[in-house]
Amino acid sequence: TELNVWHNVDDYFMTKLLPENEHLNSALQANKAAGIPEIDVSPTQGKLLYLLAKMKSAVNILEIGTLGGYSSICLAQALPQAGKVVTLEINEDYAKIAKQNIENAGYEQMIEVIVGNALDTLPNLKKAGLLFDFIFIDADKPNNPAYLEWALKLAQAGAVIIADNVVRNGAVTDENSEDERVRGVQEFVDLLKADPRIEATAIQTVGVKGYDGFVLAIVN
Ligand code: SAM
């Protein structure tokens, strides 16, 4: 019943506060048709990412974990004309669908999908001299500590870092967890704690995607 309430409240705010977004709807439909796992952020969470990017007046966004491009499009919609999203995806099939969704939404100039293991493609971004003011970490959770280290190398002063799935139904507090995704999140949180440049908090989320949460951080 708790789940039902979360779901209903999420639906309520979705209906009240999220205008129909044809591009996002189409992307979700295409993902479903292609059999992509439904592990994208929820609509209200996508709107949260959009609002955070807008509040930050973000211009250069890095996303680690594209899937079908749902959150990439949410983020691109928050950008000014000259803004850019670089998004990293290891799975060629997902990346192909994402590129199609992005093209259908008219964002192919704004969103660049880079295919490959993010651990291999992140160094290229650094070599190219790119810096980002908003970084969304949402890929394989065991690598969250490594992604944070790259995020710090690629962050402008004042950059925002967001990471998804940091609560995992509460498992994050289990010190003896053998789930490497949980361990990845725990190590990530410890790194945040240890870095004097970083100010961070976490928000727990409930809704159509269950019980989870985001870390929100700023790199000073
Ligand atoms: N951000 C997406 C959204 O909300 O629409 C959801 C991303 S999904 C939770 C995680 C994605 O990260 C998957 O598409 C997966 O293939 C990708 N991924 C996993 N390991 C990766 C790696 N080492 N490098 C790049 N992408 C990876």
Residue 81: both structure tokens together: 């004309």
pLDDT tens digit sequence for 4-29? 999 999 999 999 999 999 999 999 99
Give the atom of ligand 1 at the shortest distance from the alpha carbon of 36: 14
Q: Is 1 a residue whose pLDDT tops 80?
A: no
- Closest Cα partner for 71 from 87, 93, 55, 91? 87
d(CA 117, CA 104): 25
- Closest Cα partner for 44 from 12, 66, 2, 67? 12
Which protein residue has the closest C-alpha to ligand 1 atom 4? 40
Backbone φ and ψ of 196, nearest 5°: -65, -15
Q: Is 163 a residue whose pLDDT tops 80?
A: yes
Give the atom of ligand 1 at the shortest distance from the alpha carbon of 46: 4
Residue 186: which residues within 8 A CB-CB, separation 6 or more?
Answer: 172, 175, 177
d(CA 218, CA 212): 20
The pTM of the full predicted model, rounded to 2 decimals, is 0.98
Q: What is the pLDDT of residue 110?
A: 98
By the 8 A CB rule, do 190 and 198 touch? Answer: no
C-beta of 10 in contact with ligand 1 (< 6 A): no
Residue with tokens 């680690």: 64
Which helix (H) or strand (E) segment holds residue 59: the answer is none
Torsion, CA 33, CA 37, CA 43, CA 47, rounded to 10 = -120
Torsion, CA 101, CA 39, CA 46, CA 7, rounded to 10 = 130
Q: Is 95 a residue whose pLDDT tops 80?
A: yes
Ligand 1 centre distance from Cα of residue 90 (Å): 7
In the chain the beta strands, taken as DSSP E runs, fall at 60-64, 84-89, 111-115, 132-137, 155-164, 198-205, 212-219
Residue 4: both structure tokens together: 């039902």
Ligand 1, pocket-test mutation among 66, 114, 115, 180, most atoms within 8 A of CB: 66
- What is Dmax (Cα atoms) for the chain? 51
Residue type, 87: T
Residue type, 165: N
pLDDT tens digit sequence for 26-59? 999 999 999 999 999 999 999 999 999 999 999 9
Ligand 1 centre distance from Cα of residue 139 (Å): 4
The CATH class, in words, for 2-219 is alpha beta
Residue 180: both structure tokens together: 């490497």
Ligand 1 centre distance from Cα of residue 187 (Å): 19
Provide the 10 A C-beta neighbour count for residue 194.
Answer: 8
ipTM computed for the complex: 0.99
